[in-house]
Amino acid sequence: MSCTIIPLLLGKMKNKKSNMTYFMNYEKEIWTALVCWFVRADGKNILIDSGAPREVMERYWYLPYEEIMSFEKGLGSVGISPDDVDIVIQTHLHMDHVYNTPKCKKAKVYCQEEELKFALNPHPTQEIMYPRRVIDQIDFQLVRGEEAILPGIEVMPVPGHTPGCQAVIIETEKGKAAISGFCSIKENFFSPENVKMTVSPFATYPVIAPGIHTHLFQAYESALKVKATAGIIIPLHDPDCAGAARLP
């Protein structure tokens, strides 16, 4: 089965580039995307992540946030409403990825068991990222490791950014596409060979770990794993990918 991925760009947020790229770019600010990804497969309407409403982002995000469209308007752009969503695959349970999910009342919601376990008892440095009131509303279908959700759509653990991050691997007409599963931009996956001399002596090649992580070494290995798995890489917060009409 061959699928098309449609980014639903809900908003953009001013971000420290160092949040995306470990030990690099402290002085740089960039715009990153708040996006959920729509796929129609096997007669099902599927979302990868759900984003968060403007008022939530403005309350918790300490840098500027600009809404592009509401969750409901985003779904309307592909001809559906929240009640028409059959499946939500949560890459992880940070607020900007899960907050709208309870609106999809008829959907099966998949996440890694390890992610839910951590979300219900997060480390104090991470607890603000996990909206317990929202998470408690969701009846999760728990995944343990790699698993096929539907023909042509699989999940793959990529821990490090959070303990239970999962990438989503989707068969497309141009080959396998990987929605990364952890907060990243293109630069995480395509650093130049001379990056240590041109950007930072702490930089790494051929990938750069995400700047926000619970386990640095796992985060780096997960980026390598995503890059080795799919020819088409879709970083979760990359503005170019999120602004495309469809992918690949």
Query: Residue-wise pLDDT tens for the chain (248 aa)?
Result: 789 999 999 999 999 999 999 999 888 999 999 999 999 999 999 999 999 999 999 988 878 999 999 999 999 999 999 999 999 999 999 999 999 999 999 999 999 999 999 999 999 999 999 999 999 999 999 999 999 999 999 999 999 999 999 999 999 999 999 999 999 999 999 999 999 999 889 899 999 999 999 999 999 999 999 999 999 999 999 999 999 999 99
Q: What is the CATH number of domain 5-242?
A: 3.60.15.10
pLDDT value at position 27?
87
Question: How, if at all, do strands 175-179 and 65-67 pair?
Answer: unpaired
Q: Domain map of the chain by residue range?
A: 5-242
In one letter, which amino acid is 116?
L
User: What's the predicted TM-score (pTM) here?
Assistant: 0.96
pLDDT value at position 61?
80
Distance of CA 131 to the CA centre of its chain: 16
